[in-house]
C-alpha cells in the first residue's frame, strides 16, 4: 500500500494527470486495491498531506491542480463504487444529501463522502460546493432526506453552518440527522456540537456507524 | 496563557424610560497575544461590546477585567490612563486629527501619556509609519491622505504606546480588497512580532476566516465562539 | 497643559479665517473701549483742569468776624502732615480795597501771597503777559483786563484805598492773564508782607489755599476731612472744590458713568461673541475631542485646549485692539483740530488704563472660554464614536 501511495504521490508532484489516472484505474481493474482503501489510504492523504515545498506563491495553484487530478480519478471510480455497494449489499436506507455551505468551495471531500453514503446503502445526492442557502432549504422540503451531510473546510463557514442546521431542525417536521465533517472540524472531535450537528464523520467507518445507528432507530 | 481580558456577565441596557437591552450576559476571555475576530449583523451589539472592552462605554452590569484589573470602579482619569497605555483603537472611520500630520497623529497617544518628544520617540514613530508603509507621506496632513493611508496611520498610532490590546472596529470597512489584504497582513505581522492581542470586529469574511478565533454575536448574545 | 496649548494653537491655526475674525472682534471691542475711555478721560481732565486746575481746591478760612488766622505756622505743619495727597499749600491775606488810577476807580481784591508758593497753585509767573511778578514791598501786578480798560502802563503807580481809609501807593510791575475775566478784572496780586502792611494786620493771614495731587482731585473732600480732623479747630472753616462746584461734579460723574456703561456693554458683547464662537468650535471639534478622549486624554486637558484658545485669542485681540485704539486716538488728535491747530479734544492717553483694558479683554476671553471648556470636558467619547 505504501508503495502505491508513494508512486501515486510522485505522479501528483509531477502533475501528470494522465499517468496518475491510468495508474489508479489499472489498480482497481486488477483488483490490486479496494475502492475504500483507495479513498481512505491513497486519495485522502494525498489531498490532506500535501506539502508546499516550492515557491509559496504557487501553493494554491499547485493545490488546485492536484485537486483537479484527484477529482478526475474520483469521478472515474463511480462504477467501482456501485460495484462495492452491490457487493456489500447493505440494507436500503433512504436519502442522504451531501453539500457544502455557501461560500465553501472545498467540495472534493464531500464528493468522496457521497460515495461512502452510496456504499453504505443510501440514496446519496451530491449537491456540491457553495450551495445557496434558500435553494437547499426548499430542496429539503421536496426530497425529505434522512441525512444531511455538510462538509466545511474553512472554519469561518461554521458560522453559516450553525445557522443552516438550526433552521433545518426548526423547519423539518421529522427526525432528520445532520452530519458534519471537513477540515474545520478535524482538530477537535467535539466541535460538531458547537454548530448543532448530530454526528461528526471523518472516515468511512464513521459513516458506516452512522448508518448503523440509523438502522437501529 | 494568561488572560489579558475578561468579561464577566456583561449586560448592557440603553435608555431609562424605554429600555433596550443590547447585550445579554456576555462571558468572554481573551488570551494574551491572541488574534480574535467578532462578527455579527449590524445592531447585534458587537460594537457596543467592543466599546465596553475599550472602556469607552460602561456595562449596565457585569465586570470588565483588563490585565486582571477591574475597570468598573475606576475614575475617569484612571480609565483614560488605561485607554492610553493598555489599549490601541483602530476604527472604521480612522478618526485621525485633521489638524495634524500623520507623524503627529502617531505621536499623539505618546504625548497624551505625558511623554516628551525626543529624537528616539520620533524615530520609533517613523519606524511604525514605515512598518505600515507610509514613509513618504508621514508629514502630510491627515486630510491629504487616502483612506487606506489614513487607516494605516491609525494603526501606527494605535501601536505607539505599545499597548497590550488593539481593538479594531471594522478596520477595513471602507477599503478596497487590496487594501483590506494589506491591512490584515499588517495586523497579523504586529500580532506575531510584538505579541499584541487583537480583537477585530469585521463583517469581512476574508479577515475573519484568517483570525484564530471567531466570536459571533447575535441579538446581544454569543451565538458562536470557535477557534481555528 | 503643554499638550492642551499645542492642540489649541493647532486648532486656531487650522481655521485661520475664523481665528482672525474673532481676534478682530475682540480688537475692535478693545479699541472702542480705549478710544472712548481716553476721550472721556481727556474731556474730564481738560474740564477739571480748566475749572480748578489753577485755583484752590481746599480752602481754609476763619469763622471769626475779623476773618483773621494768626499763628499759622503750626497750622501749616499740621496741614502738611494731614494727608500725603496734598501738593501745594499757600497762605493768602485777602482784603478788598479801592483802586484809583487817573480818573478811574473801582473796587479790587488785594491778594497777598508768598509768590513762589502761590505760583504752585495759580501759575502766576507763567501767566504774566507783561513785566514781572512782585518781589518787593509795594509792588503789585494787575489783570490784563484792567490794563486794557484803564490804559495802565508798566511801572505806573496806582493808589489803593483801604476800608479804613488808609491810602497806599503801589507800583504796577506786571500784568497777568489767568484766563478768567472776573479774576483779570478784580484781582490785584502783591506780596504777603505788602498786604499785611497795607491792611495793618501784623503777621496774620485770611486763608490757606491747598491743591492736592492730580490723583486725589476727585477725593478732595476726603482730604479736607482729614485736614479738619488734624487741625481740630472750630474757628476754622475748611471748604473743598467739590462743595463749591456741585453742578460740574454731577456732570462729570454722569459722563463717567455713561463712559463706564459703554465700556461695560462693549465688554459684554465681546465676551458673548467669544463665548458663542468658542461654543461653536467645541461642536466643530467634538469629533477631535472624542478621538483624543478615546486615546486617553484627560477631561481636564481638553478643557485646557479651550481655555488656551480663549487666552490666545484674548491676547492677540488685546494687542491688536491696543494698536487700533491708539491709532484711532492719535488720528483723532491729529485730524480733529481747532483753527489754531490744537486738538478739539485733548485725549488723555493713560497707559495704565490701556493696560487694564487689554487685561480685561484677556481675562474676559478666558472667562468666555470657560463654558466651552466645561462642555468639552463633559463630552463623552462614546457619543462621537457611536454616531459615526
pLDDT, position A54? 66
C291 → closest Cβ in B82, B95, B113 = B95
Q: What percent of chain C has pLDDT over 70?
A: 99
pLDDT, position C383? 83
Best to test chain B binding among A101, A105, A155 (most B CBs inside 10 Å): A155
pLDDT, position C388? 58
Q: Which residue of B has its CA nearest to C13?
A: B99
- Compute the nearest-CA separation of C357 from chain B (Å): 33
| Most confident option among A65-74, C200-209, C258-267 | A65-74
Instruction: For chain B, say whether A154 makes contact (Cβ under 8 Å).
Output: yes
Q: What is the CA radius of gyration of chain B?
A: 17
* Cβ-based burial of B197 (10 A; exposed 0-12, middle 13-18, buried ≥19): buried
Instruction: For chain B, say whether A81 makes contact (Cβ under 8 Å).
Output: no
Chain A residues in contact with B208 (beta carbon < 8 A): 156
- Expressed as residue numbers, the domain containing B165 is 3-227
List the chains bordering chain C where 3 or more Cβ pairs fall under 8 Å: B
Do residue B112 and residue C295 have CB atoms under 8 angstroms apart? yes
Do residue B209 and residue A155 have CB atoms under 8 angstroms apart? yes
- Interface of chain C toward chain B, CB-CB under 8 angstroms: 3, 6-7, 10-11, 13-14, 287-288, 290-299, 301, 381-382, 385-386, 388
Nearest residue to B43 via CA among B20, B17, B22, B71: B22
CATH of the domain at B130: 3.40.50.300
pLDDT: which is higher, C44 or A177: A177
- Compute the nearest-CA separation of A78 from chain B (Å): 34
CB within 8 Å of chain C, chain B residues 26-65: 47, 51, 54, 56-57
Domain boundaries, chain A: 2-84, 90-216
B89 → closest Cβ in C14, C294, C386 = C294
Nearest residue to A41 via CA among A71, A67, A3: A3
- Compute the nearest-CA separation of C348 from chain B (Å): 45
Instruction: For chain C, say whether B117 makes contact (Cβ under 8 Å).
Output: no
pLDDT, position C226? 87
Q: Which residue of B has its CA nearest to C291?
A: B95
Please state which of the ranges A89-98, C269-278, C318-327 shows the lowest mean pLDDT: C269-278
pLDDT of residue A23 exceeding 90: yes
pLDDT tens figures, C242-270 = 887 888 878 888 888 888 888 888 888 87
pLDDT, position A214? 65
Instruction: For chain A, say whether B208 makes contact (Cβ under 8 Å).
Output: yes
List the chains bordering chain B where 3 or more Cβ pairs fall under 8 Å: A, C
The C-alpha atoms of residue B140 and residue C263 are separated, in whole angstroms, by 46
Best to test chain B binding among C13, C296, C300 (most B CBs inside 10 Å): C296
Please state which of the ranges A190-194, B97-101, B170-174, C95-99 shows the lowest mean pLDDT: B170-174
C296 → closest Cβ in B47, B83, B91 = B83
Do residue A156 and residue B216 have CB atoms under 8 angstroms apart? no
**How many CB pairs (< 8 A) connect B and C?**
65
Physical contact, C and B (3 or more Cβ pairs within 8 A):
yes
- Compute the nearest-CA separation of B87 from chain C (Å): 8
In total, how many domains does chain B have?
A: 1
Alpha carbon C128 to chain centroid distance? 26
b (16+ CB within 10 A) / e for B68-96:
eeebeebeeeebbbbbbbbbbbbbbbbbb
pLDDT, position A30? 92
Per-residue pLDDT band at C153 (split at 50, 70, 90): confident
- Compute the nearest-CA separation of C283 from chain B (Å): 15
Best to test chain C binding among B43, B75, B108, B201 (most C CBs inside 10 Å): B108
Does A90-216 carry CATH code 3.40.50.740?
no
- Compute the nearest-CA separation of C14 from chain B (Å): 6
Q: Which residues, 6 or more positions from A94, have their beta carbon under 8 angstroms from its beta carbon?
A: A122, A123, A145, A146, A147, A214
Best to test chain A binding among B209, B215, B221, B223 (most A CBs inside 10 Å): B209
Q: Domains of chain C, with CATH numbers?
A: 2-50+249-386 (no CATH), 64-233 (2.40.40.20)
Q: What is the CA radius of gyration of chain C?
A: 32
Do residue B224 and residue A154 have CB atoms under 8 angstroms apart? no
Do residue B39 and residue A159 have CB atoms under 8 angstroms apart? yes
CB within 8 Å of chain A, chain B residues 23-52: 39
Do residue B205 and residue A103 have CB atoms under 8 angstroms apart? yes
pLDDT of residue C368 exceeding 80: yes
pLDDT of residue A216 exceeding 90: no
pLDDT, position A120? 92
Chain B residues in contact with A161 (beta carbon < 8 A): none
pLDDT, position C55? 82
Low-confidence residues in chain B, pLDDT < 50: none
pLDDT, position C2? 84
Phi, psi of B42 (to 5 degrees): -65, 140
pLDDT, position A215? 58
Do residue A194 and residue B226 have CB atoms under 8 angstroms apart? yes
Chain A residues in contact with B216 (beta carbon < 8 A): 159, 162
Q: What is the ipTM of this complex?
A: 0.90
pLDDT, position C304? 93
Amino acid at each position: 500500500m505504501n508503495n502505491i501511495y508513494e508512486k501515486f504521490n510522485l505522479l501528483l508532484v509531477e502533475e501528470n494527470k494522465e499517468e496518475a489516472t491510468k495508474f489508479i484505474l489499472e489498480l482497481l481493474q486488477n483488483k490490486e486495491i479496494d475502492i475504500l482503501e483507495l479513498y481512505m489510504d491513497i486519495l485522502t492523504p494525498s489531498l490532506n498531506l500535501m506539502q508546499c515545498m516550492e515557491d509559496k506563491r504557487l501553493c494554491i495553484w499547485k493545490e488546485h491542480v492536484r485537486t483537479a487530478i484527484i477529482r478526475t480519478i474520483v469521478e472515474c471510480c463511480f462504477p467501482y463504487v456501485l460495484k462495492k455497494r452491490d457487493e456489500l449489499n447493505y440494507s436500503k436506507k433512504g436519502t442522504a444529501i451531501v453539500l457544502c455551505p455557501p461560500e465553501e468551495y472545498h467540495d472534493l471531500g464531500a464528493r468522496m463522502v457521497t460515495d461512502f453514503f452510496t456504499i453504505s446503502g443510501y440514496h446519496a445526492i451530491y449537491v456540491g460546493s457553495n450551495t445557496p442557502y434558500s435553494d437547499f432549504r426548499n430542496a429539503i422540503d421536496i426530497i425529505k432526506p434522512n441525512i444531511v451531510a455538510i462538509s466545511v473546510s474553512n472554519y469561518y463557514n461554521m458560522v453559516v453552518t450553525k445557522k443552516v442546521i438550526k433552521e433545518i431542525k426548526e423547519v423539518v417536521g421529522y427526525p432528520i440527522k445532520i452530519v458534519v465533517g471537513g477540515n474545520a472540524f478535524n482538530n477537535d472531535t467535539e466541535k460538531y456540537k458547537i454548530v448543532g450537528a448530530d454526528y461528526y464523520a471523518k472516515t468511512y467507518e464513521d459513516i458506516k456507524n452512522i448508518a448503523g445507528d440509523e438502522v437501529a432507530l | 496563557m494568561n488572560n489579558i481580558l475578561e468579561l464577566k456577565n456583561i449586560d448592557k441596557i440603553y435608555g431609562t424610560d424605554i429600555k433596550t437591552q443590547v447585550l445579554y450576559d456576555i462571558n468572554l476571555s481573551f488570551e494574551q497575544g491572541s488574534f480574535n475576530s467578532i462578527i455579527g449583523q449590524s445592531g447585534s451589539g458587537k460594537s457596543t461590546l467592543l466599546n465596553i472592552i475599550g472602556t469607552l462605554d460602561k456595562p449596565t452590569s457585569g465586570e470588565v477585567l483588563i490585565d486582571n484589573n477591574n475597570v468598573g470602579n475606576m475614575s475617569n482619569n484612571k480609565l483614560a490612563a488605561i485607554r492610553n497605555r493598555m489599549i490601541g483603537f483602530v476604527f472604521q472611520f480612522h478618526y485621525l486629527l485633521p489638524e495634524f500630520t500623520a507623524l503627529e497623529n502617531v505621536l499623539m497617544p505618546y504625548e497624551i501619556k505625558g511623554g516628551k518628544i525626543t529624537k528616539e520617540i520620533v524615530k520609533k514613530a517613523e519606524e511604525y509609519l514605515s512598518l505600515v508603509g507610509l514613509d513618504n507621506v508621514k508629514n502630510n496632513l491627515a486630510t491629504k491622505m487616502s483612506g487606506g493611508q489614513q487607516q494605516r496611520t491609525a494603526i501606527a498610532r494605535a501601536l505607539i504606546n505599545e499597548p497590550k490590546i488593539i481593538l479594531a472596529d471594522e478596520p477595513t470597512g471602507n477599503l478596497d480588497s487590496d487594501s483590506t489584504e494589506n491591512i490584515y497582513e499588517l495586523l497579523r505581522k504586529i500580532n506575531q512580532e510584538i505579541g499584541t492581542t487583537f480583537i477585530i470586529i469585521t463583517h469581512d469574511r476574508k479577515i475573519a476566516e484568517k483570525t484564530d478565533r471567531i466570536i459571533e454575536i447575535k441579538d446581544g448574545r454569543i451565538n458562536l465562539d470557535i477557534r481555528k | 497643559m503643554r499638550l492642551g496649548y499645542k492642540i489649541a494653537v493647532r486648532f486656531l491655526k487650522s481655521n485661520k479665517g475664523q481665528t482672525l475674525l474673532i481676534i478682530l472682534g475682540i480688537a475692535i471691542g478693545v479699541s472702542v473701549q480705549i478710544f472712548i475711555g481716553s476721550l472721556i478721560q481727556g474731556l474730564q481732565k481738560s474740564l477739571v483742569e480748566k475749572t480748578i486746575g489753577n485755583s484752590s481746591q481746599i480752602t481754609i478760612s476763619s469763622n471769626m468776624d475779623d476773618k483773621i488766622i494768626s499763628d499759622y505756622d503750626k497750622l501749616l505743619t499740621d496741614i502738611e502732615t494731614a494727608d500725603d495727597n496734598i501738593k501745594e499749600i499757600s497762605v493768602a491775606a485777602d482784603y478788598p480795597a479801592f483802586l484809583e488810577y487817573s480818573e478811574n476807580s473801582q473796587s479790587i481784591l488785594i491778594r497777598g501771597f508768598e509768590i513762589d508758593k502761590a505760583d504752585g497753585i495759580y501759575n502766576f509767573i507763567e501767566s504774566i503777559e507783561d513785566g514781572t511778578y512782585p518781589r518787593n514791598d509795594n509792588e503789585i501786578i494787575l489783570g490784563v483786563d484792567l490794563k486794557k480798560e484803564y490804559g495802565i502802563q508798566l511801572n505806573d503807580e496806582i493808589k489803593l484805598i483801604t476800608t479804613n481809609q488808609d491810602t497806599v501807593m503801589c507800583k504796577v510791575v506786571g500784568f497777568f492773564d489767568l484766563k478768567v475775566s472776573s479774576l483779570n478784572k478784580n484781582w490785584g496780586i502783591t506780596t504777603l508782607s505788602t498786604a499785611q502792611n497795607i491792611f495793618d494786620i501784623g503777621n496774620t493771614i485770611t486763608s490757606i489755599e491747598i491743591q492736592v495731587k492730580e490723583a486725589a482731585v476727585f477725593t478732595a473732600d476726603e482730604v479736607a476731612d482729614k485736614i479738619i480732623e488734624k487741625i481740630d479747630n472750630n474757628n476754622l472753616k475748611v471748604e473743598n472744590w467739590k462743595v463749591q462746584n456741585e453742578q460740574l461734579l454731577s456732570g462729570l460723574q454722569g459722563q463717567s458713568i455713561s463712559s463706564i456703561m459703554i465700556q461695560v456693554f462693549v465688554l459684554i458683547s465681546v465676551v458673548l461673541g467669544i463665548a458663542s464662537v468658542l461654543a461653536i468650535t467645541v461642536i466643530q471639534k467634538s469629533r477631535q475631542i472624542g478621538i483624543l478622549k478615546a486615546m486617553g486624554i484627560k477631561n481636564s486637558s481638553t478643557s485646557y485646549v479651550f481655555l488656551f484658545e480663549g487666552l490666545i485669542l484674548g491676547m492677540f485681540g488685546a494687542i491688536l485692539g491696543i494698536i487700533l485704539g491708539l491709532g484711532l486716538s492719535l488720528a483723532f488728535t491729529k485730524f480733529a483740530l481747532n483753527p489754531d491747530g490744537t486738538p478739539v479734544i485733548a485725549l488723555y492717553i493713560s497707559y495704565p488704563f490701556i493696560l487694564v483694558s487689554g487685561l480685561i479683554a484677556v481675562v474676559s476671553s478666558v472667562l468666555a472660554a470657560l463654558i466651552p471648556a466645561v462642555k468639552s470636558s463633559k463630552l463623552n467619547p462614546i457619543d462621537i464614536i457611536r454616531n459615526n
